Amino acid sequence: MVFLVSKPSGDVEGARPDFCSQFLGSLPLAMANGEDDDHQFGVLLYYKYAQIPDLDDLVSFYKSNCISLGLVGRVRLASQGVNVTVCGKLCSLKSHIAVMKLNSLFDGTDFKLASCHQPMNDVVARECGFTSLSVRVVQELVTLRSNPVMKLPEITEAGTHLSAAEFHSVLGSAGLLSDEKKRIHSKDVVLLDARNLYETRVGKFKTPNIETLDPEIRQYSDLSCWIDDNSEKLRGKQILMYCTGGIRCEMASAYIKSKGSEFQNVFQLYGGIQRYLEQFPNGGFFSGKNFVFDHRISVGSSTEDIIGTCLNCGDPFDDYSSRCRCKYCRMLVLVCDNCQKKNTLYVCELCRKNGKDGGPISQFQSTKLEVVSQQSDHEIGSQQLPWSNGKVCRSPRKLRVLCLHGFRQNASSFKGRTASLAKKLKTMVEFVYVDAPHELSFIYHPRDRETCVTSSVQPNCPPPVEHCKKKFAWLIAEDITGKGSETKWEVADAVFDPLQYQKQTDGFEESFAYLKTVFSEKGPFDGILGFSQGAAMTAAVCLRKMSVKGAVDVRFAVVCSGFPLQIPELEHGVISCPSLHIFGSDQGNDRQIANKMSRDLASCFDAGCSVIIEHDSGHIIPTRPPYIDEIKAFLQRFL
């Protein structure tokens, strides 16, 4: 592959635009006010799905070309194509387009170029990544996969493109012409918004005769799960899709079609809302503003309708420039100027639906602007935060993992047992430990007098309970009840039974209800880790999480030395959560949980998105090589 590097006319080599403020507005290029291109600024968006023969070559080209033209922004490259949003002087952007068109790889690419005013809010520019050039190689151009081991659909199976005029015509006639040119009644047509919830709150298509589906997702990677859960709303329908610029619909439409013969009539707005508003400046069927991921924040039609409302007071408001965020999940929220003056913390509508309240949080969490820097070797320039005193901020977010201890343990003891693991994963993971809800009595095996002759321990005299740490369980035997404040010592009725876990079948519903509260008060969590009985509970949580719709939500599970619970759902369903299974091999010296039981539990998970690590270290989580390297490799996929 050969790329030609062209320099723009004028003295712009190595120059960088003066981004000192937020864009006041944006106009299609045809509506530019006539200023000379050497002084007018603009934004360029384009994507292209195509097999890239040499990613390193393409990385070098983008770095060289964009630096020479003084462009800043985001360039994302993958084996299946490119996704680019860059900003600079119009003459530089046009030069970049001209060079791209010289390569046949970009034949048919829709280059969306819009002129704009200079920015006036440097905070927004920094958060959006438009103070420097970032060229990064990624797994996906847009992340559709809810888990990194899910198989992606073939992009060649994407939905049929409809131009802005065709899309408008379909909405206006409340019907759709299928391949057989047969008009379909509007009840058989659905309009699917492929964007995130905060985008839809400032602008959306409104059609009175067509059902509109708003998935209300926090991020694009949640869309595939929504499609899975709501497939009946799509089955047999003529599906119209739209997003900001078109790229998210490409992969999402292919994913819908991959579900079978009853999901084949999928159509998408080519060029997205941006091209639609250029075709219909008065908005057409689109109301409000088009949210964009650059300094402009949003772009409206000539009517400037406001459909957004303040999260707190409900007054009309659609300006995200303050970058207010939910204190729990960090999603953008709309908060009007008056409500911001009250200096309150905010909880988004999704977190409210899941039972989260407006209680106090730490100063770190309450910061309105949280910039996460995970720059790769291909990223050019550095981002300096207003409070960083000129230092570059490099504090990538860690994975938050909820840890469930084993039987007759507690959060404190399990934290000690996993101290080595936590230390070796300290740059990747934050572990959160909780006690199980069922409190157990202390048990002891009394010594006879002969064995106590030379011992300072008196027979049948265990230490006072107030000197002992309480023990808990997720599941208990039928003849055991939680002891609450009456915790006491009891004499063991038998020697240790390695198969005791098979009798611990009660208490699951109480434990699951308790965990829903934990997720509400201490979440969100990226993953859940369980050990022994905690691993069995972890599997059950992953199985149930789809039925509770967000009350318990994780992206992955780490299941250590577990066994399958005897619950009806596990007998008929497969757990479709990405999972890492760690347990002793046949000769692994695990005297607590047999290898076969852990294998049976692993078989309950979808084999296509699970990883198994067998070791020879007994009833523990091993942290020596090569096991720790395999654990890190699994977790790294979710960062």
- Give the pLDDT confidence of 566-597 residue by residue, as tens digits: 766 666 567 888 899 999 988 767 778 888 88
Distance CA 581, CA 560 (A): 6
The verdict on pTM exceeding 0.85 is no
For residue 9, the model assigns a pLDDT of 35
Half-sphere exposure in the Cβ direction for 530 (13 Å, CA): 27
For residue 4, the model assigns a pLDDT of 33
For residue 461, the model assigns a pLDDT of 59
Distance CA 79, CA 141 (A): 9
Q: For residue 115, what pLDDT band results from cuts at 50, 70 and 90?
A: confident
**H or E stretch covering 180:** none
Cβ atoms of 426 and 473 closer than 8 Å: no
For residue 198, the model assigns a pLDDT of 92
For residue 3, the model assigns a pLDDT of 33
**H helical segments located in 28-148:** 55-69, 90-101, 122-128
Three-state secondary structure call for residue 329 = coil
The secondary structure of the chain in percent helix, strand, coil, rounded to multiples of 5, reads 30, 20, 50
Tokens of 360: 């106090």
Tokens of 420: 């080595």
For residue 502, the model assigns a pLDDT of 62
Tokens of 352: 């409210």
Distance of CA 421 to the CA centre of its chain: 24
For residue 326, the model assigns a pLDDT of 86
**Domain extents in the chain:** 26-137, 155-288, 308-370, 399-438+505-636
What's the fold here for domain 26-137? Alpha-Beta Plaits (3.30.70)
Comparing 364 with 155, which gets the higher pLDDT? Answer: 155
Q: For residue 144, what pLDDT band results from cuts at 50, 70 and 90?
A: confident
- How would you class 487 by CB atoms within 10 Å of its CB: exposed for 0-12, middle for 13-18, buried for 19 or more? middle
Query: Across the chain, what does the average pLDDT equal?
Result: 78
If you average pLDDT over residues 111-139, what whole number do you get? Answer: 74
Cβ atoms of 117 and 41 closer than 8 Å: yes
- Give backbone dihedrals phi and psi of 239, rounded to 5 degrees, phi first: -105, 120
142 pLDDT exceeds 60? Answer: yes
The count of other CB atoms within 10 Å of the CB of residue 629 is 10
533-544 helix and 595-602 helix, angle to the nearest 10 degrees? 10
Q: For residue 546, what pLDDT band results from cuts at 50, 70 and 90?
A: low
Comparing 619 with 130, which gets the higher pLDDT? Answer: 619
Maximum CA extent, the chain: 103
- Give the pLDDT confidence of 483-520 residue by residue, as tens digits: 444 555 555 555 545 555 566 677 888 999 999 999 98
% of the chain with per-residue pLDDT over 70: 71
% of the chain with per-residue pLDDT over 90: 40
If you average pLDDT over residues 138-155, what whole number do you get? Answer: 78
As annotated, the active-site residues are: 243
- Give the pLDDT confidence of 320-346 residue by residue, as tens digits: 988 888 887 788 899 999 998 876 788
First to last CA, the chain: 31
295 pLDDT exceeds 80? Answer: no
164-173 helix and 272-279 helix, angle to the nearest 10 degrees? 80
117 pLDDT exceeds 90? Answer: no
If you average pLDDT over residues 17-46, what whole number do you get? Answer: 52
Q: For residue 389, what pLDDT band results from cuts at 50, 70 and 90?
A: very low
What's the fold here for domain 399-438+505-636? Rossmann fold (3.40.50)
Cβ atoms of 86 and 74 closer than 8 Å: yes
Lowest-confidence region among 35-49, 79-93, 560-574: 560-574
- Give the pLDDT confidence of 426-468 residue by residue, as tens digits: 999 999 999 999 988 755 555 554 444 444 444 555 555 555 6
The answer to whether the 26-137 and 399-438+505-636 domains have the same CATH topology is no
For residue 131, the model assigns a pLDDT of 74
93 pLDDT exceeds 50? Answer: yes
Tokens of 70: 């003084």
The count of other CB atoms within 10 Å of the CB of residue 366 is 15
66 pLDDT exceeds 60? Answer: yes
Q: For residue 617, what pLDDT band results from cuts at 50, 70 and 90?
A: confident
Distance CA 144, CA 142 (A): 6
The CATH superfamily label for domain 155-288 reads: Rhodanese-like domain (3.40.250.10)
Closest of 51, 88, 55, 65 to residue 3, by C-alpha: 65
For residue 637, the model assigns a pLDDT of 81
Lowest-confidence region among 144-153, 178-187, 521-530, 616-625: 178-187
Lowest-confidence region among 11-15, 176-180, 218-222, 223-227: 11-15
182 pLDDT exceeds 60? Answer: no
For residue 506, the model assigns a pLDDT of 78
386 pLDDT exceeds 70? Answer: no
Comparing 355 with 244, which gets the higher pLDDT? Answer: 244
